[in-house]
Amino acid sequence: MNISSDTSIKDLERLKKKIEKQIKAKKTTKSLKENYYGLIKNDHKNHLRSDGRKLFRSVVDYLECYINGLPPIAKAEFNNRYGISSSRKKITSEVVSQVKDSLAEGKTLKESSELSGVSIASCQKIKSGDYDG
């Protein structure tokens, strides 16, 4: 930055405030990161399945618990603990035949997906022949 002799004191003071503000922001974020890193670093290792594998698919899943203020447990365990059932349905041969029959009757993809309990995209895949039933 080139500060010439014609720069006013007011401009220099404004720049000084701006620089001090940036320095303060960098110091506070660094100290916050340092505080959380120590807590999370070793805690991630404590959560293992009974066979010794990691409980979380990724660090993002683990950190998501902290962000949302939840206890650090895997989503599957969380859903089981609080009675939340999965919205996904396995595509079996019965589901494929049910979707094919409803499509043969002239129903739309949306209607057949509501009847069978699978998504519209899955019905589209069944219709195109990606799933054999």
pLDDT in tens, 25-72: 777 666 666 666 666 666 666 677 677 776 666 666 667 777 777 666
Cα–Cα distances (Å) from 82 to 19, 75, 79, in that order, read 49, 11, 5
The whole-angstrom separation of Cα 45 and Cα 34 is 18
Instruction: Write b or e for each residue in 31-43: b if 16 or more Cβ atoms lie within 10 A of its Cβ, otherwise e.
Output: eeeeeeeeeeeee
- Its pTM stands at 0.39
**Largest Cα–Cα distance of the chain, in whole Å?**
86
